[in-house]
């Protein structure tokens, strides 16, 4: 059975002392029509791209200042675009080809090849993943080989590892609600007992967006659009793209 989720006492203990991990952030370039496509089906690509930018910028701001950060980006020609967007702090690496499992395997293996003491992998679309939760995940790696943050859609928003475990990324039904369950099953097959963080939401739908609007549109500069403006470039129902 997985270990208990994070709790305040354990989190405080973890934050006092741990080996600093390398944080990998898996991102796409913020190009209209290529990010948050499920959300775009309801609010349009321009607004979905804006939301994606806000989510990623919030996530990058929540990373502890002393952690080494690698952004693994796609497509491969977006390095200058990513640098202009994210600034000088993260080291930039293009993602390899293949499915998400292959890209994660390459990213994690490469980080350990650069002598990382531990690796935590996240995306940019979990608004509840704050600095406190990242400290908790890093501290948990002192006692567990695997840390997982389950997402409410059946995936996971974070995975932490003390060494490369490519088996955890192989033959996983990515982009389904079975990702987390299958990963737990694979961990069990490997004799691993993951530490589970709290359940959190990714932002993929209008409902997710509404639920976390206060976090996403927290500042005056990022004021939430009015409902009319919010759907300004929403596709006409007869023109809406087929969901895949």
pLDDT digits (tens, 9 = 90+) for 40-51: 999 999 999 999
Mean pLDDT, rounded, of the chain: 88
Which residues have C-beta within 8 Å of that of residue 145, sequence separation ≥ 6? 161, 162, 163, 165, 192
Domains and CATH numbers, the chain: 8-217 (3.90.550.10)
User: What is residue 78's predicted lDDT score, i.e. its pLDDT?
Assistant: 98
Nearest to 7 by CA among 200, 198, 199: 198
End-to-end CA gap in the chain: 34
- Confidence label for 218 from pLDDT (cuts 50, 70 and 90): confident
What's the pLDDT tens digit per position in 163-192? Answer: 999 999 999 999 999 999 999 999 999 999
Run of H or E residues at 89: none
Whether the per-residue pLDDT at 14 is higher than 90: the answer is: no
Q: What is the pTM of this model?
A: 0.85
pLDDT of residue 39: 95
Q: Which pair of tokens denotes residue 31? A: 């190009």
Asked if the model's pLDDT at residue 12 lies above 90, the reply is: no
- Residue-level pLDDT at 75: 98
């Amino acid at each position: 059975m997985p270990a208990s989720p994070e709790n305040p006492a354990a989190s405080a203990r973890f934050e006092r002392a741990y080996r600093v991990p390398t944080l990998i952030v898996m991102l796409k370039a913020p190009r209209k029509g290529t990010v948050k496509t499920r959300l775009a089906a309801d609010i349009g690509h321009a607004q979905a791209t804006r939301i994606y930018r806000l989510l990623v910028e919030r996530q990058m701001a929540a990373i502890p200042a002393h952690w080494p950060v690698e952004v693994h980006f796609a497509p491969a020609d977006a390095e200058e675009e990513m640098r202009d967007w994210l600034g000088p702090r993260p080291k930039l690496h293009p993602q390899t080809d293949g499915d998400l499992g292959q890209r994660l395997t390459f990213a994690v293996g490469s980080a350990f090849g650069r002598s990382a003491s531990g690796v935590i992998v996240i995306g940019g679309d979990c608004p509840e993943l704050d600095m406190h939760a990242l400290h908790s995940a890093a501290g948990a790696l002192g006692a567990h080989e695997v840390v997982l943050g389950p997402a409410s859609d059946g995936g996971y928003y974070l995975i932490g590892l003390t060494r490369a475990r490519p088996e955890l990324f192989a033959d996983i039904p990515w982009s389904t609600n079975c990702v987390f369950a299958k990963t737990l099953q694979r961990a069990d097959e490997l004799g691993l007992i993951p530490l589970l963080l709290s359940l959190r939401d990714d932002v993929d739908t209008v409902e997710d967006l509404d639920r976390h609007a206060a976090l996403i549109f927290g500042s005056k500069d990022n004021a939430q659009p009015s409902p009319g403006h919010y759907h300004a470039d929403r596709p006409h129902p007869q023109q809406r793209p087929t969901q895949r």
